[in-house]
Amino acid sequence: MISSLSLDQLRVLVAIADAGSFSAAGRNLRRVQSAISQTVATLEATQEVTLFDRSGHRPQLTDTGRILVQQARMVLASAARFEAVAAGSRQGMEAELALAIDPLVPTAPLIGSLRALHETHPQLQISFSTEGLGGALRRLRAGDVSLALCLLLPDAPEDVTATPLIRINLLPVTAADHPLATLGRPATRVDLETHIQLVLSDPANRHGPNYGLTGSAPWRFVDLGRRMDFLLAGFGWCRMPEHLVKEHLDAGRLVRLTLDDDTRGNTDPLTIYAAHLADRVPGPAGRWLLSNLAARVAD
Amino acid sequence: MISSLSLDQLRVLVAIADAGSFSAAGRNLRRVQSAISQTVATLEATQEVTLFDRSGHRPQLTDTGRILVQQARMVLASAARFEAVAAGSRQGMEAELALAIDPLVPTAPLIGSLRALHETHPQLQISFSTEGLGGALRRLRAGDVSLALCLLLPDAPEDVTATPLIRINLLPVTAADHPLATLGRPATRVDLETHIQLVLSDPANRHGPNYGLTGSAPWRFVDLGRRMDFLLAGFGWCRMPEHLVKEHLDAGRLVRLTLDDDTRGNTDPLTIYAAHLADRVPGPAGRWLLSNLAARVAD
DNA sequence: TGCTTTCCATCATATCAGGTGATAGTTTTG
DNA sequence: CAAAACTATCACCTGATATGATGGAAAGCA
């Protein structure tokens, strides 16, 4: 046998440390004292350590023994976590919750909900991925994640079930020193097409549809942060979620564009959906997260 | 039995995950395949979980099973730490190393040595205490710590064995705007006695000897940092370790006092000793730390 | 397709770790 | 000094578990 150490030996050791004597530990564990004595003896023999100092009346933990009791508590704690995970999945709890979210999803409420989820279900492993636009849906379809927070444009697929979660306003904006900012009248399609549009695009699908594409000279970005850098630097215009540009608008670094009727078609609020595969319903933890998140964004 | 989970079950579970099949795991563990099969069955029964999907040819880990394998690895890792501690103490290694240091001991080399000690003996628990002057020696005598880095003034006690470790220069200093700083001649005993001396004193022994006490109006401090604050604020003068005031001297915030022959008696370098009780010799880790520290301060 | 190999579940049997109960010795308590 | 509490040791026995054999199913191979 590679190692003869057993959890039972550790349980006995900790019980002795807690109870204060071999006999008391035996009573707590419902074993006779001799069994305790013997377990300690074999533990000491197999590990070749002296756990108790027998010179006095009742055995006293040695220095080594005290440290090993601490170690034993840690082992038992991790064993308890093992059993907690088992108990969780026994009640139908998924063993892990894998999430994917699209870049446009606001992270503030998500962070709060994830923290609350971890506190409620400490043994649940949570994994999280965010990639370019469309990545969340792709990971959902690939089976990598069980829950996606994503857009469903241009069309709602058949194989996923989605519930609306948040609506975010997209505002056409540009830098304060950009020509479009000083136009003095609503921008027409021609105005827009003569300037660079900074678009988010699905990196895996470069020639597919680009949500909100109007102009003809798009620069393509995968992540919002980098697009924001270019936007602030005055390289072009784009539609941005209201909550991300509010501060810049207030500070005057960005300005909101007014569009004429012709180009206003796709300025509807964008809806973020919580989606899962139709044949793979989220477990209790996933549903808990969704309801918590829904309550949080309702504020 | 409170919990029937055993380390052996976890070893088997992990072995299967590593080997890829029950049979291969059995070969690795030198048990027949039926023993593996049975262990898995009882683990699944007692925890009431399904670890393997038996629908295919060879059992495949379920989602829950995968997570539980991860958990099992963590339990086994902590069990391995338990055994590492036991193995360490089997070789005479102390189970924990408790240190106490006096405030004047320079911390820079100590931090380096402690980090190296932790890398060399990861399973060793290191505890560390620093209190007022004399506190290290007191904790050593009380048996709280096995090793003290401390002064041995005014006299070397009989019951401890000490080896010199570092000599630190004590410089009489005061703030640049203090009257003593602009004296223009070596300070006499009378000069010093008319000004406040900022002394470190043993908080447990307020009326005992105060190392380096010259003046008659001492302000007593327990920690060096606070004393430094008062020193810089121009409240008085004191002797400080060279390495702590070098920067302030260079910057002109503090100035070194020159003393006349009469008061120069106790300006000898102060020796920091590594001390242990004569009847309680440090183990390998303590000796390792001392030699590493000695090499470090030799630079 | 047919043969061989590999794999797993099940069962009866054997074995051994470990729990039980009794006893003796020691220290503490009153 | 007696009673109580505690531990070590021993013989004994129980039960968990490893073994070995068997059967069936899937996969590899010619």
Q: A51, A69, A89: best mutation site toward chain B, by most B Cβ within 10 Å? A: A89
Using the C1' atom of nucleotide C28, identify the protein residue whose alpha carbon is closest.
Answer: A57
Q: Tell me if A255 sits within 8 A of A173, measured CB to CB.
A: yes
Instruction: Give the integer Cα–Cα distance in Å for B117 and B126.
Output: 9
Q: How far, in Å, are A240, B104, B163 from residue B290 at the CA level?
A: 62, 17, 10
* One-character DSSP codes across A86-139: HHHHHTT--SEEEEEE-TTS-HHHHHHHHHHHHHH-TT-EEEEEE-STTHHHHH
Residues of chain A scoring pLDDT < 70 = 1-2, 154-155, 203-217, 262-267
Distance of CA A106 to the CA centre of its chain: 13
Q: CATH topology for B96-164+272-298?
A: D-Maltodextrin-Binding Protein; domain 2 (3.40.190)
Same fold for the pair A7-90 and A170-268: no
Number of neighbouring beta carbons within 10 Å of residue B160 = 19
Say whether A241 sits in a helix, a strand or coil. Answer: strand
Residue A167 CB contacts under 8 Å (≥ 6 apart), including other chains: A269, A270, A271, A272
| CATH class of the domain whose range is B7-90 | mainly alpha
Q: CATH topology for A96-166+271-298?
A: D-Maltodextrin-Binding Protein; domain 2 (3.40.190)
Instruction: Give the integer Cα–Cα distance in Å for B206 and B197.
Output: 15
Element (H, E) at B293: helix B284-298
Residuewise pLDDT in 10s, chain B (299 residues): 468 899 999 999 999 999 989 999 999 999 999 999 999 999 999 999 999 988 877 888 988 898 899 999 999 999 999 999 998 888 888 888 889 888 888 888 888 898 899 899 888 888 888 887 888 888 898 888 999 998 887 667 788 888 888 888 888 999 999 988 888 888 888 888 888 888 887 766 655 555 555 555 578 888 888 889 999 988 888 989 988 999 999 999 999 998 887 666 566 788 889 999 888 888 889 999 999 998 988 87
Structure tokens at B242: 């060279």
Where are chain A's structural domains? 7-90, 96-166+271-298, 170-268
Contact check, Cβ <8 Å, B72/A82: yes
Q: Which of A48, A78, A94 sits opposite B75 (nearest CB)?
A: A78
Structure tokens at A67: 């440290």
| Residues of chain B positioned with their CB less than 8 A from the CB of A68 | 82, 85-86, 95
DSSP annotation of B281 reads -
Q: What's the pLDDT score for residue A9?
A: 94
Instruction: Give the integer Cα–Cα distance in Å for B268 and B8.
Output: 64
**Strand C closer than 7 Å to the CB of A247?**
no
Q: What are phi and psi of B47, to 5 degrees?
A: -90, -10
Q: What's the pLDDT score for residue A55?
A: 80
Helices (H), A121-217: 135-142, 189-193
Q: Tell me if B293 sits within 8 A of B165, measured CB to CB.
A: yes
Q: CATH topology for B170-268?
A: D-Maltodextrin-Binding Protein; domain 2 (3.40.190)
Q: Which of B5, B67, B72 sits opposite A96 (nearest CB)?
A: B67
Q: Tell me if A175 sits within 8 A of A233, measured CB to CB.
A: yes
- Which nucleotides in chain C lie closer than 7 A to a protein CB? 6-12, 18-23, 26-28
Tell me the nearest-neighbour CA distance from B63 into chain A, angstroms: 7
**Strand C closer than 7 Å to the CB of A54?**
no
Helices (H) and strands (E) in chain A, counts: 10, 12
The nucleotide whose C1' lies nearest the CA of A39 is C18
CA angle B134, B136, B142 (to 5 degrees): 105
Instruction: Give the integer Cα–Cα distance in Å for B295 and B287.
Output: 12
